[in-house]
Structure 1
Amino acid sequence: MGLCSWLVLGGIAGWLASIIKGTNARMGMFANIIAGIVGAMVGGWVFSFFGGRGVTGFNVYSLLVATVGAVILLSVLQALRK
């Protein structure tokens, strides 16, 4: 995937994760993109650990992997803040 694809996929995944976790009002566009990209790495690792595939390109499966990873990331960050 190219840089633009990572930014778009990361932005969408981070935005969806922030809506799921209820942090959308506090996060801006750049925080969503970073959360989505790091979430794609976390999600890829988690899915690979359980026998699945990580991010495979710009598709719905990769969006799911990145969103799950971003939700995990935001959950850990929320737990550390408390």
Structure 2
Amino acid sequence: MGFIAFIILGLIAGAIAKAILPGEQGGGWLATLLLGVVGAVVGGWIGTAIFGVGLEEFWSLESWLLAIGGAIVVLLIWGLITGRRSGTRS
């Protein structure tokens, strides 16, 4: 998959992950979309390490599931990190 296609996949995966995990993860939509790109990387890494499947084709169901799953994981971690910060300030 090309670089631009990978970025688009990550952006869309971030938006889908945000729709699946509504609530306050901190950072707004822009941060969520950027975290989606990071999540696509994480999902591709996990998929390759555990299942032997990576982000190879843009229209592959495995690529989308890995990217969305990775984005959900990254958003959950981001929500925990930003939740702790805001909780300690109050």
**TM-score bracket relative to the smaller structure:** 0.7 to 0.9
* Structure 1: distance between partners of 2:33 and 2:78: 16
Q: Aligned partners of 1:20, 1:63: CA distance in 2, in Å?
A: 14
Shift of 1:7: 2.6
Contact 1:10/1:32 (<8 A) preserved: no
Partner of 2:21: 21
Contact 1:18 1:27 in 2 (8 A): no
Tell me, which stretches of 5 or more residues in structure 1 are unaligned?
A: none
> Aligned in 2, Cα 1:23/1:14: closer, same or farther, shift over 3 Å?
farther
Give the greater-gyration-radius structure (CA). Answer: 2
Give the 3 Å change call, closer, same or farther, for CA 23–10 of structure 1 in structure 2.
farther
Q: Sequence identity, in percent?
A: 34
Gaps spanning 5+ residues in structure 2: where? Answer: 85-90
Q: Which residue in the other structure is 1:71 paired with? A: 72
CA RMSD of aligned residues (A): 2.2
Moved over 6 A (4+): none
Q: Match for residue 52 of structure 2?
A: 52
**Counterpart in 2 of 1:62?**
63
Secondary structure of the structure 2 residue equivalent to 1:58: coil
SS at match of 1:11: helix
